[in-house]
Structure 1
Amino acid sequence: MPVTANIRMYNQKNLGDCFLLKFANSKKEEAYYLIDFGSYTSGNGLRETEIAKHIKETIGDKKLTIIVTHQHKDHLSGFVSTGDLLESDIADNRSLWLSFLDDESSKEGKSIRSATERYWKKTKKVNALLDQEFSDDEAVKNMLNQKKMYDLFAEDQITGAGITRLLEICQNNVTFLTPGQNFLLPGLTEGVRVYVLGPPSNETQLLKMDPRKNEGVEGLNAMMEIANLDISGSLMLDALENIAAVSQNKPDKETNFPFSRNFVDTTDSPIKQLYYSKDNESRQIEHEWMSEIGRLALHMDKFTNNTSLVLAFELVETKKVLLFVGDAQIGNWQSWFDVKFIDSTVTGKDLLMRTVLYKAGHHSSHNATLKDGLDLMNENELIIMIPVEAKSAKPFKMLKPDMLTGYNRKSKGKVLRSDTVEQDGTGLVTQYPFITRDKLPNFKLIPDSSGGHIAMELEIKG
């Protein structure tokens, strides 16, 4: 049966995902799916409200399934700030899809939650002690500012509140999805099939994050890595508590960090003068040990990305595939080649080969698209959509020229960014303007009240 898919990427003027999908078939059945809704930078509530109102105007009282790929602020904050707008007075009109890792009964999920909760508690104490003991130290302030860029899921962020609010919106109507599941899209009697590709249940793949030059990835033992992180966090907290004990004159506490006082030079020696001279500031190591805080934050951020729920929507008649990967990193991608779908001969490789729409992983981060996976996609029809805003992405080194060049070459220039603007009414401004709008199938910009666009939308017939 012929089916039409409308894919709308909202322009949040920020770093964050928000996609509204509409599927319709020749029986005039319709189904709406909202994949993520969040912003990285705080204070984006007005834009999120504008987007939520636009979604509400679009769907009216129709059923809506909300899909959360993973628990990061830039995929969840909109549900907290605008949840009232997304609610429905009609029973069973809202449902929620989450990864099996979000299920309380999941063994793998319990390991991740346990590690994350330990990190939350320790980092909260660490931040308080740093503020107490180093409030005037510019080096420490700079380090903390860098750390905040990666603390998207920290205890004072909104991910827990986001899931809680979603459960309220959907009245606890939740489905947990596991790789290997496949089913006809709810809301349509036929026309679209959903394949669950990720996140991996294999712990080794779950911890594979960064690609090597040859696209291979160094495997890590999950439980050992989690244990090492926990030890690192404990040592960091112990160190700061020792420093606080010294400043508070508490002789009962062990205060020999980082060196025993027996080895501290209390004289004004020539060596000490040389060490503290202005010319040698770059060689001083007082605060080097604090870089461990940033390492922990970065690792936990990447670890959470790799838990992303990955879905392939197959338009059954034409076999075209729409691929939504959240922020999946390398191990997640590689696991798709091993997935065995229930009562199906379809493979992950098959789905990649038939992909005509790819939602770029992690806002076009270098470690969120596997080259072997991208190479398989349908280069004649492939369109790549990147939810990104250049200014917000810059600190994370996203939108690398090599990555964008690779996207454009594979898709023959059919790359759409949410921060794209029009150029003289003739086409679209892209870093690599290989195409103009008339070469995109059924593409439109949806204007906002400020003269820009609130979303861009594609229609793919299948």
Structure 2
Amino acid sequence: MPIQNKITRTEIRMYKLGTGDCFGIKFYDKDGLSYKLMIDCGTWKGTKEYLSPYVSDLVSWFGNEVDLLVITHEHKDHVYGFEACEQLFTNGFDAKQVWMAWTENDDDPTIQDWMKRYGQKKKALAKATEKISVFVHDEFNHQAYEHEKYASQIIESRKSFSAKLSDLVDLQFSLDNQVYVGNLKGMKIVKDKIAKGKLVFKNPGDIIRGLKGLPGVNIYVLGPPKSWLSIKKENGGEGESYKHNREIFKSDAFAAAVLNESEDYTEELPFDRKYVIDRNSSAWEKAMRNYKNDGSEWRNIDFDWLQGAGELALRVSSMTNNLSLALAFEFEPSQKVMLFPGDAEFGSWASWHEIDWNSSVPKVENSDHLKKGVVEDLLNRTVFYKVAHHLSHNGTAKRLGLEMMTHSDLVAMATLDYNIISEGWTSTMPNVEIVKELVKKTKGRLLVMNEKGLLADRKTKESLADCVKNGKNALSPKERKEFDENCKNETYYIEYNLQL
């Protein structure tokens, strides 16, 4: 049966708030505007005065209401706009429905328990970050390096580490006088003031069909995974993830130590249990007297122990990314797909391929859903990809992700801007392998928030702008004309019109 008033095109706007996601999407049928969707509103940082013109333009473009607001996950670069520009979202703006991942259901006892333990890691990180900041700026502690040849470089490197660690904390934690207090303010504003009883939680394997205003559009919920192991997994093995020189280690023991918790983390300790000393024993007092002996400060490992905060920060950040609500929009009858994965990392991408879709995917004879996996088929038909995690190495799976995006019409958008970003991220974003693969897959149809300062090759110093420009040589004259006609780069946003 033919679909009445099918969706014929979408307008996709990537707002230039800075490194972070803020997308507006309008869906049109033959009679005009049919549906309005907003996904996230975040950026690394920015004042209300700076961000307001961007958010005002977005709200005005939507006519002060959206049919659906999607919040992918609780990171500042995805929700900070709701905090900085709260009045614009709570005074006359209406979201008819709000979607979040199943992990945001505060009333679920299982999630409450998990978030309590997750919150403990956040508290540990906040506490360790504060200690490190005090330590690296303490002149007394600098004396331990006064005889070192490179004393000033050591001190500066530790100050730099402290600053970058603070950036990671700021990205994901709501603090009050350096004490973790729960949800980021932007997230609380969405839950308490914008959603107002219209909040719906989505699970992997859900397929939403028949939304009013979206005839013939099927929305597949891919993530976040239900498996704790998948949530914790940042990288895959050889051929599964794009290369990076970082490894993340276990950090539960570190979190427990910082908080002086009583839980038994024996399995996480790097030494046998018989070497653990009871803090209330005379042996502990003797050990501490020797450890704190005058003239032996240089032997102390206080700061080296706290360096574990870096591993904990990266692990917690990675887990939050893997909690992203990842969505694929399938359009009938064209069968084209838009993919919005939030900041999903490898563990989430891999989990998509393990979802049991049997009860929700219709059994159509000769369907590619039956010949291959449902997610592989969706990726094969993806014509628009919102690049996960700002072109980072772990934001896009390789074999189970980008290599499956084989459609000749693929276009990608990436939310990366060196003008507004943590300094620590500039060495890892963009990942050069992902850039080159995306340029090849899209034939240069890669739209980046701000190309200035970005390199596609760190050895040859080839700029990302030149790489994208050269990639467009693979387009036919017809493809080049169509792409140029469907793109706009304005002051507040980059817009792409996807023809369906």
Q: 1:304: Cα distance to partner?
A: 0.6
1:332 to 340, 345, 348: 348
Which of 58, 69, 76 is equivalent to 1:73?
Answer: 76
> In the aligned structure 2, how far is the partner of 1:212 from the partner of 1:93?
41
Name 2:493's counterpart in structure 1: 455
Q: Residue 444 of structure 1 is aligned with which of 474, 478, 487?
A: 487
**Which of the residues 100, 103, 116 maps onto 1:101?**
103
TM-score (norm 2): 0.75
Aligned to 1:235: 257
CA positional deviation for 1:107: 6.0
The alpha carbon displacement at 1:208 in A equals 1.5
Residue by residue, what CA displacement relative to the aligned partner does 1:288-333 show, whole Å, maximum 9, x if unpaired? 2121111111110111111111000111120100000111000100
Distance 1:378 1:125, change over 3 A: closer
Change (3 A) 1:237 1:429: same
Shift of 1:32: 1.0
Deviations along 1:427-449, whole A, 9 cap, x unmatched? Answer: x94543122863516433353xx
Q: 1:147 aligns with which of 156, 161, 165?
A: 165
Question: For residues 254 and 113 of structure 1, do their structure 2 counterparts lie closer, same or farther at Cα, with a shift above 3 Å needed?
Answer: farther
Q: 1:414 aligns with which of 439, 445, 470?
A: 445
Matching of residue 356 in structure 1 with residue 383 in structure 2: yes
Instruction: Evaluate the alpha carbon distance shift between residue 162 and residue 213 of structure 1 in structure 2; reply closer, same or farther with a 3 A threshold.
Output: same
Partner of 2:338: 322
Deviations 1:6-56 (A, max 9, x none): 1111112x2111110111112445211111111113x34334211211112
Q: Classify 1:25/1:119 alpha carbon distance in 2 versus 1 (closer, same or farther; 3 Å).
A: same
Asked if the contact 2:451/2:465 (under 8 Å) is kept, the reply is yes
The 1:259/1:417 distance shift into structure 2, 3 A limit, reads farther
Q: Distance in 2 between matches of 1:420 and 1:258?
A: 59
2:448 and 2:219 map into 1 onto residues whose CA distance is 25
Give the alignment's TM-score, normalised by structure 1.
0.80
> Which residue identity lines up with residue 298 of structure 1 in the other structure?
L
Kindly indicate whether the alpha-carbon contact (under 8 Å) linking 2:165 and 2:313 is maintained by their aligned counterparts in 1.
yes
Q: How many equivalent residue pairs?
A: 416
CA positional deviation for 1:3: 2.2
Q: 1:325 to 1:183 in 2, by over 3 A?
A: same
Q: Is the 8 A contact 1:323 1:357 kept in 2?
A: yes
- Which letter does structure 2 place at the counterpart of 1:7? I
What is the alpha-carbon distance in structure 2 between the residues aligned to residue 258 and residue 192 of structure 1? Answer: 70
- Which residue identity is paired with 1:349? E
> What SS does the aligned partner of 1:300 have?
helix
Distance in 1 (CA, whole Å) between partners of 2:222 and 2:286 is 47
Distance 1:120 1:260 in 2: 28
The gaps in structure 2 that reach 5 residues or longer are 1-5, 143-154, 177-181, 243-248, 262-278, 363-368, 453-463, 474-479
1:307 aligns with 2:323: yes
Q: Does 1:344 align with 2:361?
A: yes
Cα distance in 2 for partners of 1:439, 1:284 equals: 64
Report the more deviating stretch, 72-81 or 435-444.
435-444
Per the alignment, do residues 292 and 95 of structure 1 end up closer, same or farther by CA in structure 2, a change over 3 Å counting?
Answer: same
Q: Check the 8 A contact 1:52/1:86 in 2, yes or no.
A: no
Alignment pair present for 1:432 and 2:432: no
- Match for residue 375 of structure 1 among 403, 414, 436: 403
After TM superposition, give the deviation of residue 378 of structure 1 in Å: 3.1
- Equivalence map 1:172-183=2 (5 Å): 172-183=197-208
8 Å CA contact 1:313, 1:321 repeated in 2: yes
CA RMSD of aligned residues (A): 3.2
Query: Which shifted more, 411-420 or 24-33?
Result: 24-33
| Aligned residue number for residue 424 of structure 2 | 395
- Contact conserved, 1:191 with 1:317, CA < 8 A, in 2? yes
Q: Any residues of structure 2 matched to 1:87-166 within 5 Å, and which?
A: 87=90, 89=92, 93-106=95-108, 109-130=111-132, 135-136=137-138, 137=141, 139=155, 141-151=159-169, 152-156=171-175, 159-166=183-190
Mapped to 1, the partners of 2:467 and 2:117 lie a distance apart of: 40
| Sequence identity percentage | 25
Q: Is this contact kept in 2: 1:337–1:348, CA < 8 A?
A: yes
User: Aligned in 2, Cα 1:178/1:256: closer, same or farther, shift over 3 Å?
Assistant: same
Unaligned runs of 5+ in 1: 218-224, 240-250, 277-282, 422-427, 448-452
Q: Which residue identity lines up with residue 381 of structure 2 in the other structure?
A: R
Q: 1:108 to 1:352 in 2, by over 3 A?
A: farther
Contact 1:10 1:455 survives alignment (8 Å): yes
Q: Find the residue that maps to 2:208 and give its secondary structure.
A: strand
The structural deviation recorded for 1:161 is 1.6
Question: Which residue of the partner structure matches residue 84 of structure 1?
Answer: 87
Q: Which letter does structure 2 place at the counterpart of 1:314? A: E
Match of residue 309, structure 2, among 288, 293, 298: 293
